Structure formats: C-alpha cells, structure tokens
Amino acid sequence: MTGELKSAGYNRWLVILGTALVQLGVGTFYAWSIFNTPILKMFGELALDKQGHVAAVQPHLGSVSLIFSIGSLTLALSTIVVGRLVKRFGVRRITVVSGLVFGLSAFIVAQLHSPSQLWLYYIFAGVTLGAADGIAYMATLSNAIKWFPEKTGFISGISIAFYGLGSFVFKYIDAAFLGNDIVHNLPRALMGWGALVTILILVGSLFLRDAPEAQVTKVSKQHQYTTAEMLRTPQAYLLFIALFTICLSVYLTGIATNLGTNLAGLSIERAATVVALIAISNTVGRFVIGTLSDRFGRKPMLMLTYSATLIAVLVLTFSSHIAVPMFYAMMMMVGFFFGGTITVFPSLVGDYFGLQNHSQNYAMIYQGFGFGSLAGAIVLSLAGGNLAVVFYTYIVLLIVSLIIWLTIKTPKYVESK
C-alpha cells in the first residue's frame, strides 16, 4: 500500500503536515467562549455582583452563547456537503476558500458593536464561520485518512489532536489579544484571531493533495458503500446513537467549573483550573486512543472508552461531596476518553463502509456530534435546571451504547435487486 501511494508522486507526510496546520486553525473555534464576556460588556449587558465583580448568573448570557451554539450546529451540518465539494473542486481549493471565508467572517464580526447587531453575530460568527470551519475540518480529515488506509487510527489521532490543540492554545492567544481592556480590544482580538487562523489554513493548504482514491480502493476487497447504501444499514444508526451519546461529554466539560464548585467545594478560581486539565487530557486522549485502535482494534478501544466514561459519570452523579483529587481525576477521564472516542469514529466508519466515500459517509454519522453537543443543554432546560436528570440520561445512554459495542458487527453488503 505504501509503495502504491508513493507512486502518486507526492510525499504523503506533507499532506499530514498541511492537515495538522489546518486542523490547528479550525479547532480554535472551540475557544469562542472567551469572547462571551467582552461581548456582554460591550453590549452593556454584563451583570456585576455587590463587590463589582462579574456575577455568577448572567441573565443575557443565553442570547450571546447562542452564537457558539449556532456555529456548532452549522459546523456539523456543513460537513454533509463536503464529499461532493471535494470531488468537484479538490481538497486544496475547498480548504483555501474555507480559510478565506473564516477570516472574512471574523473581520465582519469585529465591526459589530451594539445589541441590535446580535443577529449579524448569529449569521457571520455562527452560520458562515461555522460552515467554513466544518468544511475545512471534514475535507482535510477524510483526505488525510485516505492517504494512510493502513493506519487510519494513527492519522485520525494526529489530525483530531491538532484540532483539540487549536482550542487550547488559542484560549491564551485570544486572552492576550483582549488584554485588560476587553471591550476596547475586542475588535482587535477578533481580527487577530481571524487573521492567524486564515494564515494557518492557507499555509496548510499548500501541502494538501487529493488522495489517489483509485489506488486506495483497488487494494481493498471491501465494498465501498455509497451514502445511500450506508443509510440502509442498521450500523449507520447505531453509530449515530453511540456518537450522540459520547458527545454529552461536551456539555459536562463545558460546565466543569460549576461542577467543581458544587461537587468538590472549589472556589471559582480553583475550579477553573480543571478546564485546562480537561483540555490537556482531551488532546492526549485523541492521539493515544487513535493510535492504540490501529493495534488492538476499534471495538475493544470503544468498549474501554465508554466503560471508563460510565465509571466517571457514575462517580460524579452519586457523590454529594467528592474529594478534589477525585473530582479532577474523573473530569480528566471524561476529557481523555471523549477525545479518544471521537478520534476512533472516523476510522471505524472507514472500516465499516470503505474509504472511497468517507467524507459523505462520516459526515452523516458526524451529525451525532452536532446534536449530542447540544443535548445536555436541552435536557437541562426541559428538566427545569435539574442537573441530576442530565447525569441520569447520560448513564442510560452510555449503557445502551455499551450494548451497541457488544453486539454491532461489520455490515455485510447485499446487492439490492
């Protein structure tokens, strides 16, 4: 396989270099929450406590945090069109356009200054920027995997680790741009962020080449499922459910500070440190679990990741007061195994349905990520703010997913008559 792909006339490791740079750039979108407080303050809607500090409860936070929610959903939905776009225009052109749209969207958002323009944030920071992010993410990830069909877990681990690293690194870069005068510096921070991401994407695109799909599929005896064929298999829906389930971890890690104060009695300042620990463990998990899945198999690693996550969630659920080291350990477990799980899924979809139509096929399963990431907030809202309901829901879904991993088998292609 290696020799055949080298015969395409390009060093495929350069593709991975380009993919890593693009993933580093597009992953920064998950650091968006750092802009919520500056936007609230700029709008004159930031609530303060009696001491003049930022209040724990922000009445207007929902409308501002909706920017990121819209972006996350658009990111997931946009991946559905990636396969067709790449086949028509090629991965490099699609990535370049995505980078330019990302930068332009950030520049436009930097010009918005009043609450009456919030709807423009929804459009440019949510819809257009989210779509550009999702398209570049899926196009480069699927292309990279196709270049290395013999080690898809390892390559997926590298790509998605850099995606996670982007959000971690840019939390500090964005904070440096904002400085102390967060309102005055907000436009500069948004433009600086957009410019750096655009540069990363454009530089990374220079190394991208479309994978020689004909050579990849020629050596595979597996049927290369079209998306329509995949959607006729039960495995497609079982994978969606399993991915939807594990993405409830996104919500748990998103409220890690609140859990620290409620469960472990931490101060807000000390509880905030768990966010950095989760981010580090999440990034490490992406690389480690992805690599191990090539050696020990996808299903065994997924059984491990879902079992470990279930243990962590059970401890967090049934501990009225948890020791600080145990709280840190459980949250880091959630982060580590979540990162590892979402790294294995692209490879698993390739194993089950082939690599030829990987972009389109994984994009459909990937919708579980988009909807699962929002599910925690929706369940909490329906439960009237009762966080225990979210934990119980997650426990049930994790048990269901473990049953899926125990019973699911590689689909057998049956030609339709």
pLDDT tens, position by position, 19-50? 999 999 999 998 888 888 889 889 887 777 67
Higher pLDDT, 398 or 271: 398
Which band of pLDDT confidence, cut at 50, 70 and 90, is reported for residue 192? very high
Which band of pLDDT confidence, cut at 50, 70 and 90, is reported for residue 269? low
Residue 7 confidence (pLDDT):
44
Cβ-in-10-Å burial (0-12, 13-18, 19+) of 389 comes to middle
Average pLDDT score, the chain: 88
**Range among 13-27, 65-79, 306-320, 403-417 rated most confident:** 13-27
Residue 9 confidence (pLDDT):
67
Task: Give me the CATH topology for the region 1-219.
Answer: Growth Hormone; Chain: A; (1.20.1250)
- Lowest mean pLDDT across 8-12, 187-191, 195-199, 401-405: 8-12
CA-nearest of 3, 398, 5, 2 to 214 is 5
CA-nearest of 319, 324, 339, 369 to 278 is 339
Q: What are the backbone angles phi and psi of residue 41, rounded to the nearest 5°? A: -70, -40
Q: Print burial letters for 209-236: b (CB count within 10 Å at least 16), e (below 16).
A: bbbbbeebbeeeebbbbebebbeebebb
Q: Where are the domains of the chain?
A: 1-219, 220-410
C-alpha distances in Å from residue 123, one per residue of 79, 343, 367: 18, 29, 20
Residue 1 confidence (pLDDT):
46
Ramachandran sector of residue 233 (left: φ over 0; alpha: ψ -120 to 50; beta: rest): beta
Per residue in 58-100, pLDDT (tens digit) is 666 768 878 888 888 899 999 999 989 999 999 999 999 999 9
Task: Give me the CATH topology for the region 220-410.
Answer: Growth Hormone; Chain: A; (1.20.1250)
AA identity, residue 218:
K
Fold agreement between 1-219 and 220-410: yes
- Lowest mean pLDDT across 3-17, 76-90, 247-261, 403-417: 3-17
- Lowest mean pLDDT across 108-112, 119-123, 186-190, 315-319: 315-319
CA-nearest of 134, 136, 160, 22 to 75 is 134
* Percent of the chain residues topping a pLDDT of 70: 90
AA identity, residue 23:
Q
Residue 289 confidence (pLDDT):
93
Question: Which residues have CB under 8 Å from 272's CB, separation 6+?
Answer: 257, 260
**Range among 199-203, 216-220, 271-275 rated most confident:** 199-203
